[in-house]
Amino acid sequence: PPRSTLFPYTTLFRSATPLALQEPVPAGRSLVIGGLVKKEYRLSSYTLNKFATARIRTREVSPSGEYEGAYVYTGIPLYNILEGVTPQKPGNAPFDRPLDMAVVFQSSSGKTAWFSYGELVMTDDRHPCMLAFHRRQVLPSKDPEKYTKNKYRDDLRGLRLVCPRDQDTARYLDDVEKITLTVLRTPDDMLPVMKKGAECASRGIFIIEEDAGKPVSFAGAARQKASGWVRIGHGRGYKGISKAEGYGLRGVLKKNFRACRPDKFFLFVACDGYRVLFSGREIFFTNDGASYLIVDTLDGRKATGNYMLAPVDDYFVDRDVWGLSHIVMLDAR
CA atoms within 13 A on the CB side of 204: 8
CA atoms within 13 A on the CB side of 39: 4
Other Cβ atoms closer than 10 A to 273: 21
What's the rounded mean pLDDT across residues 154-159?
Answer: 96
User: In whole angstroms, what is the distance from residue 47 CA to residue 31 CA?
Assistant: 10
* Sign of the alpha-carbon torsion through 321, 325, 331, 333: negative
Report how far apart, in Å, the C-alpha atoms of 296 and of each of 128, 204, 304 are: 30, 11, 8
pLDDT at 1 over 80: no
Instruction: Give Cα 264 distance to the centre of its chain.
Output: 14
Q: 129: burial class by Cβ within 10 Å (0-12, 13-18, 19+)? A: buried
pLDDT at 180 over 70: yes
pLDDT at 291 over 70: yes
pLDDT at 203 over 70: yes
Q: How confident is the model at residue 135 (pLDDT cuts 50, 70, 90)?
A: very high
pLDDT for 217-241, tens place per residue? 999 899 999 999 999 998 889 999 9
pLDDT above 70 covers a percentage of the chain that reads 94
The answer to whether 188 and 208 are in contact (CB under 8 A) is: no
What's the rounded mean pLDDT across residues 256-272?
Answer: 95
pLDDT at 96 over 80: yes
Least Cα distance to 311 among 256, 249, 262 occurs for 249
What's the rounded mean pLDDT across residues 247-267?
Answer: 96
pLDDT for 20-36, tens place per residue? 677 899 999 999 999 99
pLDDT for 32-65, tens place per residue? 999 999 999 999 999 999 999 999 999 999 999 9
